[in-house]
Structure 1
Amino acid sequence: MSIPKEPRQLMINLMYLVLTALLALNVSAEVMNAFFSLDNGLKNSRGIVETNNDVLMSNINKQADAYKTEINEKYRSNAKEAIQIANEFSEFIEGVRKELFEKAGGPSKKDPKIPKDIRNKDITTRMFVLGENGKEGLGFEIERKVKETRERLLALADNDKDVEAALPLQLEAVPASSDKTSWPDFRFRQMPVAACFPILGKIQSDAKTSSAAVLNYCLKKVAGEDIKFDAFQPAISAPKGYVIAGDKYEADVFLSAYSTQADNISISVDGRSLPMKEGVAKYEVGTSSTGTKSYKVSINVTNPLTQKTDNYSKEFQYEVGQRSCSVQLDKMNVFYIGVDNPVSVSAAGVSTNDLRVSSSGINMTKDGSSHYNVRATTPGEATITLSGGGLPPTTFKYKVKRIPDPVALLGAQKFDSSIPNGTFKAQGGVAAVLENFDFDAKCDVIGYTVAYQKKRADVVEKTNAGARYDADVRDLIQRASPGDVYYFLDVRAKCPGDIASRRLGDLVFKIR
């Protein structure tokens, strides 16, 4: 589920600022939601294990109270310590989760249970692998605590080989084919923030399940091999909560308080019986379409003493996604000539280092790990193509347009056609204003003609170059008196990217 690639360390600070903008993109929502769905599922499974651990501890206490021996007291003490060790370890991981949540921007507006910067990979790389403020990455501390916790729990079970094989809390080996040299590097480098929560959640779940294995062992020691549990609940452990279309979805379906010697349990999924091995059944199903999938787990448990069979059923979900990519124009859904057009690109399931971006009809320059700046010179159509990292070439088409015509305004303000004399004389010229245009662009007035019509007098015309009044036009403006009419004719302006000037129209004002 990881996407391991070396980051460019010299760009970390800039990339952090740039990547926060990706939250505005509606990219791979299925995948991101699946991470938190999986994390919630793991949390629910932990709750089930904790409930059954309470039942186990209660049975151990009852047996130890009924038969007060040194052996029973020893294993009661071991059981309590196992719960405490698992709780302390889980609290440590919970602290790591909270720190990651805060480093990822804290609660998002849409869902306060999800942090803002869920797609960021540099936060996790620094926090877990590279380290910060002169300290080593947290992944190395997690690695040590996993080893230490496993050893402590196993010691409480007398280093029993069967218990050792049943403890899920352990570090998976770094594959020989991997270029990673350590477990933190392999597990957390370039992992999106969203993906780290279920990874940490699974480690917590493994600790709780490992303590359950120790409690099972202690219960056998205080109660004897014939004692069986009196309450059961189904649970699942899946390597990932989403899959690419065409891959297999796999999940371990098991009884949360189970024994590896159990022979009184049968498990089925959607009516199909699954083979059992040491109390665990493996469920596999092919995937061909995307979306949310569900399946129903049914577990039958036969009490060996009463021969009564109880059924426990529960429905589970997983999400099937596919590789997807997106190009987001950060300001408007069109490229404008003569201005900087910021663009963000992203591809789910593809490392930013593998993503290839090409274009036609425009010039693109990189402005961060996933940001580009586009400059256009010719109206028409432009294309941007994304490829690489297993993503087939995907092309996005966009229109290229001139900057919209600005509006000619007297003194850069809007006035009624009837204007007070003092207000009219106070203006210094004509401006070309771009209204409702998000880009940083300024149009310059090239020139215009002012026609002055006084009552019962001939029209006087003066031509003005530029936006501000020249001396002749200023003199004409200062002659204004109530009832006079002024015409600003053939106002022309030039905007960024223009080869020739544009005609903006005329303005007419009557002095009052």
Structure 2
Amino acid sequence: MSIPKEPRQLMINLMYLVLTALLALNISAEVMNAFFTLNKGITQSNNIVENTNQTLLANIQKQADAYKNEQNDKYLAAAKDVKKTADDFYQYVENLKGELFDAAGGPSESDPEKPKRIKDKDVTTRLLVGLENQPGKGFDLENKISETRAKFEELVNKDPAVLAAMPLSLDEEAVKKSDKKNWVEYNFLQMPVAAVFPILTKIQNDARASSTTALNYLLGKVAGEDIKFDAFEPVVSASKGYVIRGEKYSADVFLSAYSTSAGDNTRISVNGANLPVENGKATYEATTSGIGTKKYTVKIDVVNPLTNETKSYSKEFEYEVGERSVAVSAEKMNVFYIGVDNPVAVSAAGISSNELSVSISGGGGSIKKVGSSNYIVNVTTPGECRVNVSGGGLRDSKPFRVKRIPDPIARLSKSSGGAMGNGEFKAQGGVGAFLDNFDFDATCTIQGFTLVYVASRQDPVEVINAGARYNDASSRLVQRAKPGDIYYFDDVKARCPGDNVGRPINSMVFKIK
């Protein structure tokens, strides 16, 4: 523009330029803050995955202790190694994030959880990419990812299906298609500090998710994919463990993990009395009288057909004799969910279902009969409710928790983050909400999200999208996708049956390859 001669007009033009710059800085700061919001969401996801891994390892330990043998000991040791490898890698990246935080000026005075220079691109380049003849720590990270991946592969015996499900890897194809020299430059060269934190946290998430895949594989092994009949234990299978006074107690007594031809080589006795053995099992019957706990001892003698050696196994069992009682069971989960039909089965020992009166109290609930002993419960208020049963001289009630439907998982196609091909990414029409491992017929919908587009060496661009499908602004950003670009889906909100308002769910990060 031409330079005005009058001082007043010159001052107005300068103020306009300053205002424009301030507005640009303000928008940029908001986008930078969005990176840390995204980083926080991924960190929370990491914590959930870690809890899952701890549960898986505990289950592997439990199975290995229950079925003690050399093979299971090997799988248990591998599981512990998987967990330690993932933990060591996670801490390594955590330390690297700490170095980046300090290099970016340490805690900000306005928000100590963020560093001072969140927009600085030189800090990340110096620390992670490095200077001439002095490689940065990004190369150590690259090697660490390769080593950790190789360790996981070794611990799962390079099972192809398991390896394909492990997200921790170096996307070399994406690097080749980009204008960057290597993986480190592809991920960190001239990237703002704020954008690098969620990238590093996502790498931590990939490591923990990969360890989850490995632990699931090892749990399947130690739980008995390859069954060997090298141990014996008496097992009682009773039609019911609680009987009414005067009724007959009936139970099948058999040798666990033994073939149906075991009858010729097996002797079974209960309290010293021999029982006839047929197809490897015997039936024990006793008429009940008094109320209370009844105990009996089972002894099984097994003759080895090759050595004629006899081994004996003995164990005490018990059952309960009691009066009439009510059983109320949720058929899908031991909880009632708001917004869906909750099937319930109600029965009472010794009482016809036609004599029973069933009602519900609390939880804003209602109940209706749909079969001889089947009911549908609908609830509206979180907390607790009680199913009340009366009839035939019996009165009882059973408590149930009332909860919202679990949070759905936001996905593009079948992925909730990571690397995605350029064509596949552009082909998606929006974000979907999926209820994983939820037994009820329920559908959640996406109410909206914030889409942040980060192209290499360009400032991030942010749009707000209402609804699940892309609006025009989001579609334009998506169609700009090219290898190396990063897309952040933040502030994702979904609404499920029974919800009055939308709820926040997981964020997503995609790198275009």
TM-score normalised to structure 1 length: 0.45
Give the number of the structure whose residues are more often helix, by fraction: 2
> Whose Rg is larger?
1
TM-score normalised to structure 2 length: 0.45
